[in-house]
Amino acid sequence: MGFGAQMLEREHGFAMDTGKQYLAYPAWDERAETANFCSTNADWYANESLVQGQGNPLPFCLASCSKSPVTAIGDEQGYVRLFRTDDGHDRQDKVYETLLMHDNAVIDVAFSQDDMRLATAAGDRTCGIVDVTTMKVAVTLASHHKSSLRQVAFQPGQGNGDVLATSDRDGTIAIWDLRCSQLPARAFSSIVNDSSTRRRIYPRDDSLDAVHGVASNVIPAAHSRLTEGRFTPASLTAIHWFPDGREHLLLSGSEANASIKLWDTRYIKPVRAQSTPLAQTAAPRHHTFRSYGITSIAMSSDAARFYAVCRDSTVYAYSTAHLMLGEAPELVYNAIKRKPRAIEGIGPLFGLKNESFSVGTFFIKSKLRPASGASPELLAVGSTSGCPMLFPTDERYMRTAWAANSHILKPDPVLITPSQSFTATNTPASLTPSNCDIPIYRSGTPLVRGHEREVTNVSWTHQGRLVTASDDGNVRHWQEDAAKARHLRQVGDFGGERWMSGWADVGDEWDLDDDEILS
């Protein structure tokens, strides 16, 4: 390649490492962000039954602390277990605390921003809030829901720990403000700063019984579906708060379709009035003849993008700015309360697919790891295939793929679309719907061999480790270790070194040295 051609390649972001002068090895390869993930036979925990005579319960949900290496596991018997995700513990010591929360399955769990409170949403139509310091139930939320709960989420910002949202199978969203529930002064443990360098925890009063909370706002029939000529409420499978400054805004998704709604939770609708969102996204056009619901929503660190996992086995990326087209004072920071207008925004910007990724149930959840130091932003998603997926969210990979192939002509001849290229390989036609009008990129790295059945829930720890829960009854954590991940990919099954281990599947050529590639 001549000097001029090399300069042009560099201008377009395709500069190569020495010895790799091929488009198969672009300067930006998403596998560099995911290839180091692995899990060993010391990193998993079997969720064993605590009820005599019953089989091992399935772990249904996960939530990780933001300041300590602890993940809460909720299971189908109603128990919550605290799971250690740091090193130095035997497998039998991974779980150090267990609490029976409900008489039915725990469907979702969530920590408050300061890790002092843990909320559980269950199939018995109630939500419990645990004081984490004493592991005692401090508040029970048992009104306004007439069917099993699906999601629970604490509001960030000023309402942290006091304001939370719950959703259920009947399409109801309830907003709870514990400050309006006349709690005793010592219902929860508190942290007091004695000095600039010392903090003291004052535990809750153990003599107190659990207090019943009161909802401050209820949004009935937030989503609905058309069945036999009439609208019926749809199960709310995903809710997600906006970050601090816009924490009054809430996103919701349902099993009915791929439309996502935006709510101002400060607005209390008049009695008998229809629930009206601020805005809602348009469903992808290729869903015209069949609707696919949303299973989970995650938001980027800067709140510029949010990602929705859809039942058509696609992760759709949306622009927050496109939720409301035109002038949208409702989206600015610290916006005043306005009457919702149900403005329709545009649909997704693009979609992400992978041959190893499938969404067979509404229990498939996602979680985003914010960028921190040298760790990039990553979206983790469960999968019916048994392989949790890692999707880098840096859009330079999409731009690189489009720019690298935009000059290629089809036999038609029609310019190739972005949906037919990503990194070094083309997206198979089977991954792209024939009537799709948005780019669908082949992306993501599967984490293989760690689980044997559907991976439903995922969570990121404060150390950047990934925790996954599966229908095989196991919970395991994954960490970044380049040498270990490469060894597990190359060692083979003989000798048993791969037993109960998992690794990122990035292709055999990834671990080859330059001289092996060129030979």
The pTM score is: 0.89
Reading the block at residue 453, the tokens are: 């059945």
Residue 354 buriedness (CB in 10 A; 0-12 / 13-18 / 19+): buried
pLDDT 10s digits, 462-513: 999 999 999 999 999 999 999 999 999 999 999 899 999 999 999 988 998 7
Residue 134 per-residue DSSP state: T
Strand duo 343-345 + 314-319: pairing: unpaired
pLDDT 10s digits, 336-384: 888 888 898 999 999 999 999 999 999 999 999 999 988 999 999 999 9
pLDDT 10s digits, 226-239: 887 888 999 999 99
Mean pLDDT across 241-258: 96
- Confidence at residue 18, expressed as pLDDT on a 0 to 100 scale: 42
Q: What SS3 string covers 20-67?
A: CCCCCCCCCCHHHHCCCEEECCCCEEECCCCCCCCCCCCEEEEEECCC
- Confidence at residue 415, expressed as pLDDT on a 0 to 100 scale: 32
pLDDT 10s digits, 387-431: 999 999 999 887 766 665 544 433 333 333 333 334 434 455 556
Domain ranges of the chain: 3-518
- Confidence at residue 48, expressed as pLDDT on a 0 to 100 scale: 92
Cβ atoms of 212 and 124 within 8 Å: the answer is: no
Residues whose CB is less than 8 angstroms from the CB of residue 240 and which lie 6 or more positions away in sequence, other chains included = 153, 250, 251, 252, 297, 298, 299, 306
Assign 195 a pLDDT band (cuts: 50, 70, 90): low
Residues whose CB is less than 8 angstroms from the CB of residue 286 and which lie 6 or more positions away in sequence, other chains included = 433, 434, 435, 436, 437
- Confidence at residue 23, expressed as pLDDT on a 0 to 100 scale: 47
Checking if the pLDDT of 101 tops 50, the result is yes
Cβ atoms of 108 and 74 within 8 Å: the answer is: yes
- Confidence at residue 226, expressed as pLDDT on a 0 to 100 scale: 84
Q: Which of the listed ranges 159-163, 195-199, 474-478 does the model predict with the highest average pLDDT?
A: 474-478
pLDDT 10s digits, 112-157: 999 999 999 999 999 999 999 999 999 999 988 999 999 999 999 9
Mean pLDDT across 274-283: 92
Question: Which residue, among 156, 69, 145, 143, has the nearest Cα to 110 in the 3D structure?
Answer: 156
- Looking at every residue in the chain, the average pLDDT score rounds to 87
Question: Which residue, among 233, 279, 230, has the nearest Cα to 256 in the 3D structure?
Answer: 233
Mean pLDDT across 192-206: 78
- Confidence at residue 88, expressed as pLDDT on a 0 to 100 scale: 84
3-518: CATH topology: Methylamine Dehydrogenase; Chain H (2.130.10)
Cβ atoms of 229 and 161 within 8 Å: the answer is: no
- Confidence at residue 418, expressed as pLDDT on a 0 to 100 scale: 34
Mean pLDDT across 156-178: 94
Of the two residues 22 and 361, the one the predictor is more confident about is 361
Of the two residues 206 and 423, the one the predictor is more confident about is 206
- Confidence at residue 168, expressed as pLDDT on a 0 to 100 scale: 97
